[in-house]
Amino acid sequence: MNKTIKLEDLGNKDYKETWDYQEQLFKGIVETKVKNRREDANLTTNNYFLFVEHPHVYTLGKSGDFSNLLLNEEQLTEKGASFYKINRGGDITYHGPGQIVGYPILDLENFFTDIHKYLRLLEEMIILTLAEYGLKAERSDGETGVWLDVGTPFARKICALGVRASRWVTMHGFALNVNADLGYFDNIIPCGIRGKAVTSLNVELGKKEVDTNEVKEKLLKHFSDLFEASFK
């Protein structure tokens, strides 16, 4: 079992280009697994973890409702945003500057074969990271992602999750609002959930800007602990 993960920080990169790159890595892992089964080979499968920041973009999961996007094509152009219907789970979400997006592309057979556990560990990574900033983040029953003040009228989402898995290989991942422009969330019904607010780490800490590299380091530390993995 290969628990080493190749880390790549793609910087600011177009959503579609990144999606295509994810698909390329995903396909490579799947092809290795198919070869192992067909030819009784014993080839090692690779694991990847991509960090990226996207220009303004709205993405709709395969089970999502298009009506949760509150902009037409012309308004999207005015906002400088793009839109894609994609092959992850979940509904609509926003990505943009000031947000840390992470795409773990893992062969879960190197770790454990349980998608529910995989999602819960991604959430736990976020919860532990936010705890280092003095924030009590939680899960919300029936709603994937990470929230603050769950069960109160002030509940607000700080991290969205949406993944795809096939043959125990994962893609897509999480989007943590660190220094995000929250106004862009006003143009959607986030994850199809009405009446819930969205927040960002800098807002919660009362800071103009939080050091994203510091946040990434904390995320990787907790990810490696939770998945008993190492990065290269």
25 touches 48 (CB < 8 A):
yes
Query: Does 48 count as an annotated binding residue?
Result: no
What is the rounded CA–CA span in Å between residue 122 and residue 113?
Answer: 15
CB 70 within 8 A of CB 29: no
Give the E-state strand segments of the chain in sequence order. 4-12, 48-53, 57-60, 82-85, 92-95, 99-105, 137-140, 143-148, 156-166, 169-177, 197-198, 230-231
Binding residue per annotation — 88? yes
> Where do we find the tokens 């780490």?
201
To the question of whether residue 227 is assigned a binding role by annotation, the answer is no
Q: Does 80 carry a binding-site annotation? A: no
Tell me which residues are annotated as active site: 191
Is 92 annotated for ligand binding? yes
Which residues, at least 6 apart from 208, have a Cβ–Cβ distance to it below 8 Å? 202
On whether 161 is known to bind a ligand per the annotation, the reply is: yes
For 214-217, the CB contacts below 8 A with 24+ separation are 215/100, 215/129, 215/176, 215/178, 216/9, 216/51, 216/100
- 94 labeled part of a ligand binding site: yes
Three-state DSSP class for 213? helix
Binding positions:
88-95, 160-162, 173-175
Bind-site residues for substrate: 88-95, 160-162, 173-175
